[in-house]
Amino acid sequence: MQKKLVMILLAAAVAMSTTFSLYAQGQREGRGGDDKKGAQRGEGKGDARGGQRGAAPPPPPITIKMVKPGVYMVVNGGGNSTVRVTDQGIILVDTKNLGNQFYNDLMAQIKTVSSQPVKYVFVTHVHQDHAGNIGKFVESGVQVITNEGLKKNLQTGGADGKGYTSNAGKPAEPNVTYTKSKKIKLDSATAVAYHFGRAPTGGDTVVYFPDVKVVCMGDEFVTLPNGPNADYPFGGSVLEFPKVIAQVLKLDFDTVIPGHGNDPMTKADLVAYQKKLDAIAKKAVELAKKGTPKEQIRQQIQSQTPEMGTWQMTGLVNDARLDMFYNEVKSAK
Ligand SMILES: [Zn+2]
């Protein structure tokens, strides 16, 4: 009786383990390729963010979406990229986070909408989530065009004057720079890069496509709840920011690609955004004139500027940038 029971249990255990190992094998074989790729991708991003491996959920994948015929935006993996497709090649704005996997994913997404090669790249500012893969394009012989201020930021920017770098590494230098504006033509497309002044950094570019009425803003326009930020050690300025956006608004366009945020926006959205920045700048100068101390000024601006909505003054000007911000508003006329 007892022996029979043992035999039955043993048989059941063998059957279960066989079934399980067959199941596990099926899982491995069926999805092996994708799983491996997914794991590598996740690992790369974890490293780039400074060792969040295992803890954080995987970041959303890099994907492409159509904005208008011939115009696409590529979201996630850093700041948004814009892809302008023509029959003679592609014009790209911004290059994603620094790293081979980000570059490869970006190129793979572009390949899903066109087999044309990338001919020109514009980079909106020095931060690695936009400038990260300049080197990859320069190595491929592509013209990478930036404002001269971006190159200066790479060489001598920052509080220590040693030039921009990041946890992911230092972006490479562009091979073409311009001072105020730079126009290129490719097939039927025109692209004009403008530097209207200091906003998030001192080397910002907006890229305007007049024939399709689209403007790519980089981080001069973000649709994140906390709002934008001004990177003072790299030439950013809260007071100049609204003036720069006012210049952009003089262009003829109906569609705006934000530096962050998953959807294209309208000119009306940019008008509303400019008004917020203008209200903040005016309040900052007013409070500084009244002698509001440095330690209180961000909180005072926040509480006295209802236009700000969900934006955070501590995000617009972080602790490390407070001295430079305060000096600027105090000396404003
Ligand atoms: Zn960004």
How remote is the CA of residue 189 from the centroid of ligand 1, in Å? 26
Whether residue 316 sits in one domain with residue 219 = no
How remote is the CA of residue 15 from the centroid of ligand 1, in Å? 55
pLDDT at 21 over 90: no
Whether residue 311 sits in one domain with residue 164 = no
- H-only helix segments in the chain: 2-48, 100-111, 128-131, 134-139, 148-156, 241-248, 267-289, 294-304, 313-316, 322-330
Average pLDDT in the 185-190 region? 97
DSSP code of residue 60: P
The predicted pLDDT at position 56 comes to 83
Q: What's the Cα-to-Cα distance from 313 to each of 125, 275, 306, 319, rounded to whole Å? A: 21, 15, 12, 10
Whether residue 209 sits in one domain with residue 320 = no
Whether residue 181 sits in one domain with residue 84 = yes
How remote is the CA of residue 293 from the centroid of ligand 1, in Å? 30
The confidence band for 50, taking pLDDT boundaries of 50, 70 and 90, is very low
Residue 322 lies in a domain: yes
Residue 145 lies in a domain: yes
Say which CATH number the domain at 257 has.
3.60.15.10
Identify residue 301 by its one-letter amino acid code.
Answer: I
Domain final position from 213, 232, 267:
267
The total number of residues shown for the chain amounts to 333
Whether residue 309 sits in one domain with residue 227 = no
Q: At what angle do helices 100-111 and 2-48 cross, to 10 degrees?
A: 90
Whether residue 203 sits in one domain with residue 110 = yes
pLDDT at 71 over 60: yes
> What percent of the chain lies above the pLDDT cut of 90?
82
Pairing relation of β-strands 189-194 and 181-186?
antiparallel
Average pLDDT in the 221-228 region? 97
Residue 2 lies in a domain: no
- Do residues 102 and 79 lie in contact, with contact meaning Cβ atoms separated by under 8 Å? no
How remote is the CA of residue 88 from the centroid of ligand 1, in Å? 29
Whether residue 299 sits in one domain with residue 247 = no
Residue 12 lies in a domain: no
> Rounded to an integer, what distance in angstroms lies between the CA atom of residue 69 and that of residue 153?
35
How remote is the CA of residue 207 from the centroid of ligand 1, in Å? 15
Domain count for the chain, please give it.
2
DSSP code of residue 307: G
Average pLDDT in the 105-120 region? 98
How remote is the CA of residue 284 from the centroid of ligand 1, in Å? 24
How remote is the CA of residue 154 from the centroid of ligand 1, in Å? 16
How remote is the CA of residue 69 from the centroid of ligand 1, in Å? 25
Domain final position from 267, 297, 318:
267
Domain final position from 233, 267, 301:
267
- Do residues 321 and 231 lie in contact, with contact meaning Cβ atoms separated by under 8 Å? yes
- Residue 308 domain boundaries: 282-330
Average pLDDT, the chain: 88
How remote is the CA of residue 10 from the centroid of ligand 1, in Å? 60
Q: What is the pLDDT of residues 227-263, one digit of tens each?
A: 999 999 999 999 999 999 999 999 999 999 999 999 9
pLDDT at 25 over 80: no
How remote is the CA of residue 87 from the centroid of ligand 1, in Å? 30
pLDDT at 36 over 90: no
Whether residue 304 sits in one domain with residue 234 = no
Task: Look at 19-33, 180-194, 244-258, 279-293 and tell me which has the smallest mean pLDDT.
Answer: 19-33
How remote is the CA of residue 80 from the centroid of ligand 1, in Å? 8
pLDDT at 93 over 70: yes
The predicted pLDDT at position 7 comes to 52
How remote is the CA of residue 62 from the centroid of ligand 1, in Å? 15
How remote is the CA of residue 68 from the centroid of ligand 1, in Å? 23
Whether residue 227 sits in one domain with residue 201 = yes
Largest Cα separation within the chain, whole Å, is: 100
Whether residue 248 sits in one domain with residue 136 = yes
> Rounded to an integer, what distance in angstroms lies between the CA atom of residue 166 and that of residue 149?
18
Strand, helix or coil for residue 140: coil
> Rounded to an integer, what distance in angstroms lies between the CA atom of residue 122 and that of residue 99?
18
Residue 173 lies in a domain: yes
Residue 14 lies in a domain: no
How remote is the CA of residue 259 from the centroid of ligand 1, in Å? 6
The predicted pLDDT at position 39 comes to 34
Whether residue 307 sits in one domain with residue 221 = no
> Rounded to an integer, what distance in angstroms lies between the CA atom of residue 47 and that of residue 180?
37
Query: For residue 79, with 0-12 CB atoms within 10 Å meaning exposed, 13-18 middle and 19 or more buried, which class applies?
Result: buried
**Residue 230 is encoded by which pair of tokens?**
């001004």
The confidence band for 53, taking pLDDT boundaries of 50, 70 and 90, is low
Q: What is the pLDDT of residues 274-319, one digit of tens each?
A: 999 999 999 999 999 999 999 999 999 999 999 999 999 999 999 9
Strand, helix or coil for residue 80: coil
Residue 103 lies in a domain: yes
The predicted pLDDT at position 2 comes to 52
Whether residue 168 sits in one domain with residue 82 = yes
Residue 227 lies in a domain: yes
The predicted pLDDT at position 54 comes to 64
